[in-house]
């Protein structure tokens, strides 16, 4: 193998002049002279062993049996533990998970016994923490049979299972007065479960922790909406979720229609960040449901279920005219779309890794750039990905961002030279070895002709090499290790250094060989070769520390000259001080002025430095932002919760929202209709976002009910002119709260006392004044000599900082405990008290009849998970400890990664041994909650925003970056 400087020219990998030109010159054919050569007989195909991990999501817990009101056929049997299960039974022993493993074993036994020359073995192991189970499959046979069998197993196995929720108002699915579920709703859920191949549960309201803005304490609030929990593989679950959402629209009186749109143009129709669809929905008051974008890449379909047509788009609206108008607007957009298509080649194992672990990021790339990404089917051994977009610039952005994902996966080989035949292990020992390496590292590993091949994420491949280094058979003979890292072409000189100084120093210091292999238009490979594991470990660590770590953020173009300074003196001082290279890009670099409104908020400043110096990136960012005015400070994101059904009313006021965005230079983004999420994000300058979010919440109405015991003095006071003419207007003017009185003399039980309801109406930004308004009204009651008895809806004051909680440990008759607060369902800081217990004892207990199973049978089932509110729901003590796992985020492999080590970059402040066990980083709060002021002036505080970039961006500057061009040169 040649040394890398011999293969490198001054313009190696940097020239783009031949893009789009033919790569092969056609020469005239010359007839061969003489007889054809005699071909040697082909040797028989050698047997290989291949081991891979099957992602069953065995840490997915079922619902709490206390919350189940209805379940589809056999759903409780699959997702709850039997009555005789021990108390500490783990989640992965749920019947649904054990059945999946058993079905896989049976499938592999059939493959082994069939005439095809293939052996398939399943191994299920449990890590020490016991939270999940790792299932590996080892295939032995010829290469073609092994890869074909792997494709069959992955496409016939329900991997990547998840749980998705849909919130629904209780009155839509149940008759609350009679205490029973509507038969039409339960029949529909059973039909969807059978049609889509999923398990569906109808769950009661949940307890959600709320943070008190005054003292930081937590209180529990019961959500007024019920939940529909859907369990299944991710494609089937999304199919069922869309049908449930459409059914809810039908229950609300909306009409449903469908239109056929080719899957490859649906992202182009939606526009960047679904801008086009939001305008159509706001103008026509409709809801548009698109199918999953990657259903073609996954071949699994549950037995007896049907897949959704990928070209079918559902539209729901108030009237047929609104739906027709929406179709017309869709047709107008489709007729104006221009198509730019480009094919890119990526290593086949990396495509499978992206399909199994990075699909959330791929979906984000598609939505951000309005580009359709055609991925090949899972395990199909195809390496071509097609990109289709409305503009060439957006296609290039999407390609670079996807290529950066490919750089997060490594490829390694371990060759054994001249092995001793007496030490060669048997086929059974090889299978056990490969299964152990795969289970401990989560990397796919193959053994072919006394050579190991490993593919997977950066950390997985390094852990697999560490496990192999402890095996005597592998290390006692001569061997060679090779690790291949993929990186963007524009970073080549950055890594090699001036006159290749960095690479030469690493090779001489660690006794390794480093080769640069240019294989594509966007990325190149860095091959690190060594003859022992210690040298490889040290050399690869040093190479990773020389790879670029970057951070990108937005600074308005008008500040660039101020920051750069005369002759670049300001920015040169900052770069020299922190050894960080800073690059600015303006609107012209991003494709011209006025191309898209989103370009005004993209990351246009990138700071780059070797990974060993990554800790200085935040310091550079801080110094740059200090030169920016407060109105244009750092771009942050804040999330506010608004009922998803009210999003339609807000979208109808889209012109007002656009005026609000221009006023504060912010961007308000609504979630897609298919997500059924309540979270609305407000993105903009740090000091402008709270004001924008507060004014946006002023468009969202809210209400709160306080039920009082009926009494003659109370009714007389509420009907007096003093209350109607003085108190009510004062509440509106001083506290921004409107109060109205409703006397409940009808529709009540015969044994219940009459009540009076005070209905408080306000906007969400004034929710903090509700408590003060109620205190003011109570003071008026006290002045009039009235002592109202609050039955439901009281809002207690925040608990004072006393030693009250410690008094329970002192047996004293002098120290008295504070009375328990009155039950409440307040929107601010309510408690969850006896009203819910009473409600469960009458309504919920009558509704909890899952499927055809009796209530007594359900009570005998054990909870499959501990609930965060087990102190409120007195369920079985035999529960698991993992129900607090976030289902959506745990499916993403990037949820627990270090933001500075997304691609193997080891920072100086990391562990000294970066090849040890993987560190798990809890995700920091990237979403800031809106702090509602409770009185007086207060300045909202926001944490620093993490960059959207990874620690080592392969090609793209950030996930949301609009700056696609390479840097003019590295900082030396």
Each domain of the chain, given as residue ranges in start order, spans 253-336, 342-404, 408-547, 549-588+597-624, 633-696, 699-790
Q: CATH topology for 549-588+597-624? A: Ribosomal Protein S8; Chain: A, domain 1 (3.30.1370)
SS3 content of the chain, % helix, strand, coil (to 5): 40, 20, 40
Distance CA 155, CA 61 (A): 23
Query: What CATH number labels 253-336?
Result: 3.30.1370.10
Per-residue confidence (pLDDT) for residue 600, from 0 to 100: 56
* CB 607 within 8 Å of CB 620: yes
CB–CB of 680/667 below 8 Å? no
Rounded Cα distance, 878 and 861, in Å: 10
Q: Could you tell me whether strands 605-610 and 548-553 are parallel, antiparallel, or unpaired per DSSP bridges?
A: antiparallel
Collapse the DSSP code of 530 into the 3-class scheme (helix H, G, I; strand E, B; otherwise coil) and give the result.
strand
Class of domain 342-404: alpha beta
For residue 601, how many other CB atoms are within 10 A of its CB? 18
Q: Please, are residues 607 and 550 in contact by the beta-carbon 8 Å criterion?
A: yes
Edge-to-edge strand list for the sheet holding 134-141: 118-125, 134-141, 48-54, 444-447, 451-457, 409-416, 479-488, 523-530, 513-518
| Angstrom distance (rounded) from CA 801 to CA 815 | 16
The DSSP H or E segment spanning 492 is helix 492-496
CA nearest neighbour of 493 among 9, 3, 6: 9
Q: What are phi and psi of 648, to 5 degrees?
A: -65, -40
Question: With contact defined as beta carbons under 8 Å apart, do 741 and 756 qualify?
Answer: yes
692 in Cβ contact with 684 (< 8 Å): yes
CA 147/CA 770 separation, integer angstroms? 64
Q: Residue 867's pLDDT is what?
A: 40
Q: Tell me what pLDDT residue 218 has.
A: 45
Low-confidence ranges of the chain (pLDDT < 50): 1-44, 209-220, 592-595, 746-750, 818-841, 850-855, 866-972
Please tell me the predicted confidence (pLDDT) of residue 631: 79
| Cα 698 from chain centroid (whole Å) | 29
Question: 743 phi and psi, to 5 degrees?
Answer: -95, 120
**pTM beyond 0.75, yes or no:** yes
Cβ neighbours around 509 below 10 Å, total: 12
User: Which residues are within 8 A (CB) of 899 and not within 5 positions of it... i.e. 6 or more apart?
Assistant: 921, 946, 947, 950, 951
Q: Which two tokens stand for residue 713?
A: 């003095």
What is residue 633's predicted lDDT score, i.e. its pLDDT?
81
CB of 388 closer than 8 Å to CB of 395:
yes
Question: Which secondary-structure segment (H or E) carries 668?
Answer: strand 667-669
Domain 408-547 belongs in CATH node 3.30.310.210: yes
633-696 in CATH: which number? 3.30.1370.10
Handedness of CA 837, 839, 842, 845 (dihedral sign): negative
Same fold, 253-336 and 699-790: no
Give the rounded distance of the alpha carbon of 211 from its chain centre: 23
Rg (CA), the chain: 32
Tell me the C-alpha distance between 174 and 189, whole Å.
13
Residues in a beta bridge with 200: 230
pLDDT at 969: 43
> Encoding tokens for residue 123?
């191994």
Predicted pLDDT at 629 = 87
653 DSSP 8-state letter: T
Fold of the domain spanning 699-790: Alpha-Beta Plaits (3.30.70)
Distance from the Cα of residue 875 to its chain's centroid: 31
Q: Hey, what are 932's tokens?
A: 């509602």
Q: Which residues pair with 480 in a beta bridge?
A: 415
The vertex-63 CA angle with 59 and 66, nearest 5°, equals: 145
Q: What local confidence, expressed as pLDDT, does residue 589 receive?
A: 59
């Amino acid at each position: 193998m040649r040394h890398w400087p011999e293969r490198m020219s001054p313009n190696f990998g940097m020239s783009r002049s031949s893009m789009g030109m033919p790569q092969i010159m056609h020469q005239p054919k010359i007839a061969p002279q003489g007889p054809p050569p005699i071909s040697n007989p082909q040797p028989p195909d050698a047997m290989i062993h291949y081991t891979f991990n099957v992602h069953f999501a065995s840490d997915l817990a079922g619902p709490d049996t206390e919350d189940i009101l209805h379940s589809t056929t056999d759903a409780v049997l699959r997702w709850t533990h039997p009555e005789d299960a021990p108390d500490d039974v783990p989640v992965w022993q749920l019947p649904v998970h054990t059945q999946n493993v058993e079905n896989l074993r049976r499938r592999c036994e059939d493959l082994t016994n069939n005439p095809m020359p293939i052996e398939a073995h399943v191994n299920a192991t449990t890590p020490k923490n016991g939270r999940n189970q790792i299932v590996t499959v080892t295939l032995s046979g010829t290469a073609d049979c092994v890869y074909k069998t792997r494709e069959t197993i992955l496409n016939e196995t329900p991997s990547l299972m998840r749980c998705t929720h849909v919130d629904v108002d209780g009155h839509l699915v149940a008759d609350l007065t009679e205490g029973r579920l509507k038969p039409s709703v339960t029949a529909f859920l059973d039909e969807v479960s059978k049609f889509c191949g999923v398990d569906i549960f109808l769950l009661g309201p949940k307890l959600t922790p709320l943070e008190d803005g005054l003292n930081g304490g937590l209180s529990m609030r019961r959500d007024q909406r019920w939940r529909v929990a859907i369990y299944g593989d991710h494609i089937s679950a999304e199919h069922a979720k869309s049908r449930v959402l459409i059914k809810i629209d039908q229950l609300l009186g909306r009409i449903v229609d469908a239109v056929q749109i080719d899957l490859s143009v649906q992202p182009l129709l939606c526009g960047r960040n679904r801008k086009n669809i939001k305008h159509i929905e706001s103008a026509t008051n409709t809801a548009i449901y698109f199918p999953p974008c990657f259903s073609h890449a996954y071949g699994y379909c549950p037995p007896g279920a049907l897949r959704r047509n990928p070209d079918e788009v559902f539209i729901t609206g108030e009237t047929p005219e609104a739906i027709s108008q929406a179709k017309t607007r869709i047709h107008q957009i489709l007729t104006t779309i221009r198509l730019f298509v480009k094919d890119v080649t990526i290593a086949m194992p990396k495509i499978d890794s992206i399909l199994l672990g990075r699909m959330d990021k791929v979906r984000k790339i598609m939505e951000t750039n309005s580009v359709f990404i055609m991925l090949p089917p899972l395990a199909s051994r195809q390496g071509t990905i097609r990109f289709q977009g409305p503009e060439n610039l957006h296609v290039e952005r999407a390609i670079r961002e996807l290529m950066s994902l490919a750089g997060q996966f490594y490829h390694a080989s371990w060759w054994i030279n001249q092995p001793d035949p007496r030490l060669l292990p048997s086929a059974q020992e090889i299978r056990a070895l490969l299964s152990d390496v795969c289970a401990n590292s989560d990397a796919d590993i193959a053994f072919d002709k006394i050579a190991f091949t490993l593919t997977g994420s950066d950390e997985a491949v390094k852990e697999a090499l560490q496990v192999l280094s402890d095996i005597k058979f592998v290390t006692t003979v001569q061997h060679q290790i090779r690790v291949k890292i993929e990186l963007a072409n524009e970073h080549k000189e950055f890594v090699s250094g001036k006159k290749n100084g960095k690479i030469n120093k690493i090779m001489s210091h660690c006794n390794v060989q480093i080769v640069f292999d240019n294989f594509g238009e966007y990325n190149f490979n860095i091959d690190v070769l060594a003859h022992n594991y210690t040298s490889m470990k040290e050399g690869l660590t040093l190479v990773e520390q020389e790879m670029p770590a970057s951070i990108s953020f937005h600074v308005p173009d008008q500040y660039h000259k101020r920051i750069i300074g005369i002759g670049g003196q300001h920015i040169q001082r900052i770069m020299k001080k922190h050894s960080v290279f800073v690059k600015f890009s303006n609107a012209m670099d991003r494709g011209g002025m006025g191309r898209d409104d989103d370009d005004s908020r993209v990351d246009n400043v990138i700071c780059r430095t070797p990974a060993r110096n990554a800790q200085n990136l935040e310091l550079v960012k801080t110094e740059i932002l200090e030169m920016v005015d407060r109105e244009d400070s750092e771009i942050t994101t804040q999330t506010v919760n608004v009922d998803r059904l009210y999003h339609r009313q807000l979208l109808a006021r889209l012109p007002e929202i656009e005026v609000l965005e221009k006023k504060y230079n912010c961007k308000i983004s609504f979630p897609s209709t298919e997500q059924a999420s309540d979270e609305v994000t407000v993105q903009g300058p740090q000091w402008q976002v709270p004001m924008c979010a507060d004014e946006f919440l002023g468009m969202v109405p809210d209400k709160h009910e306080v039920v009082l015991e009926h009494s003659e003095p109370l009714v007389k006071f509420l009907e007096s002119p003093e209350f109607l003419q003085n108190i009510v207007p004062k509440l509106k003017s001083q506290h921004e709260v409107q109060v109205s009185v409703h006397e409940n003399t009808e529709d009540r039980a015969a044994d219940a006392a009459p009540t009076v309801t005070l209905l408080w109406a306000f906007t969400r930004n004034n929710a903090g004044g509700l408590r003060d308004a109620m205190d003011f009204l109570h003071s008026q009651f006290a002045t009039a000599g009235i002592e109202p008895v609050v039955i439901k809806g009281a809002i207690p004051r925040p608990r004072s900082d006393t030693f009250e909680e410690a008094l329970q440990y002192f047996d004293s008759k002098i120290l008295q405990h504070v009375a328990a607060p009155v039950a409440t369902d307040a929107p601010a800081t309510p408690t969850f008290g006896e009203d819910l217990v009473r409600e469960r004892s009458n309504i919920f207990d009558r509704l909890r009849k899952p499927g055809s199973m009796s209530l007594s049978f359900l009570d005998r089932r054990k909870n499959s998970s501990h609930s965060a509110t087990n102190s409120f729901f007195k369920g079985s003590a035999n529960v698991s400890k993992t129900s607090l796992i976030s289902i959506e985020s745990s499916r993403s492999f990037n949820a627990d990664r270090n933001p500075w080590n997304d691609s193997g970059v080891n920072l100086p402040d990391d562990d000294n041994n970066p090849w040890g066990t993987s560190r798990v980083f809890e995700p920091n709060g990237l979403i800031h909650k809106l702090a509602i002021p409770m009185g007086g002036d207060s300045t909202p505080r926001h944490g620093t925003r993490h960059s959207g970039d990874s620690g080592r961006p392969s090609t793209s500057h950030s996930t949301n970056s609009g700056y696609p061009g390479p840097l003019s040169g590295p900082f030396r």
